[in-house]
Amino acid sequence: MNALALLAAALLLPAPALAHVGDGLHHGFMAGFLHPFSGADHLLAMVMVGLWAGLSGGAARFALPGSFLGAMALGGALGFAGLAFPGIEAGILASVIVLGALAALAVRLPLGLGMALVGAFGLLHGAAHGAKLGGMALLGAVGGTAVLHGAGLALGNTAAPRARRAAQLAGGATAMAGLALALL
């Protein structure tokens, strides 16, 4: 339960609504590592990947975050190369809402379908990061994302009924926050 309180406190810290702050490319591993923490849309979606994976259990605990990270790395490279993805911000906001709802309802999809879904969202998040990050920063962003996945996984990887319910409530709150971001 302490991990849930820590996550709630982190989410209350002031941050821009979207992760694309400032102009130009950001360089260096640490700039990339910190980038996923800089916007509510990315931070919430990435924590929800881990939370949903933990609630799903079994192979999903590693397959869902792994799928997101792999697709994010690909999307980052494509974004850095200048490939434009239409509707990228809408897709990122959709990821917050959908992943939050999946966690809230503790939906158990077939593993391949779940991996494809989080992979598609990872591709979008990666492309957005790739458009803003340069060089080693892309690798840093993958590392920061893995940390956020791990935080969500720690919250959702429980069999205790009260802890599972708290994790599901966090998913519902995230879906609602995604809706709020979409309306801003």
Residue pLDDT, tens place only, 148-161: 999 999 999 988 99
Taking Cα atoms as reference points, which of 20, 25, 23, 122 lies closest to residue 76? 122
Phi, psi of 13 (to 5 degrees): -65, 140
Asked whether the CA dihedral 143, 77, 137, 94 is positive or negative, the reply is negative
Extents of the domains making up the chain: 44-183
Residue 106 contacts residue 54 (beta carbons within 8 Å): no
- Residue 94's pLDDT band, with cuts at 50, 70 and 90, is very high
For 109: left if phi > 0, alpha if psi spans -120 to 50, otherwise beta; the answer is beta
Per-residue model confidence as pLDDT tens digits over 24-58: 456 789 999 999 998 899 999 999 999 999 999 99
* 8-state DSSP, 37: G
Whether the per-residue pLDDT at 15 is higher than 50: the answer is: no
Task: Note the pLDDT of residue 25.
Answer: 53
Inter-axis angle of helices 111-132 and 136-156, to 10 degrees? 140
pTM given for the model? 0.85
Q: What DSSP character marks residue 133?
A: E
Q: How far apart are CA 70 and CA 147, in angstroms?
A: 14
Pick the closest to residue 34 from 152, 145, 151 (CA basis): 145
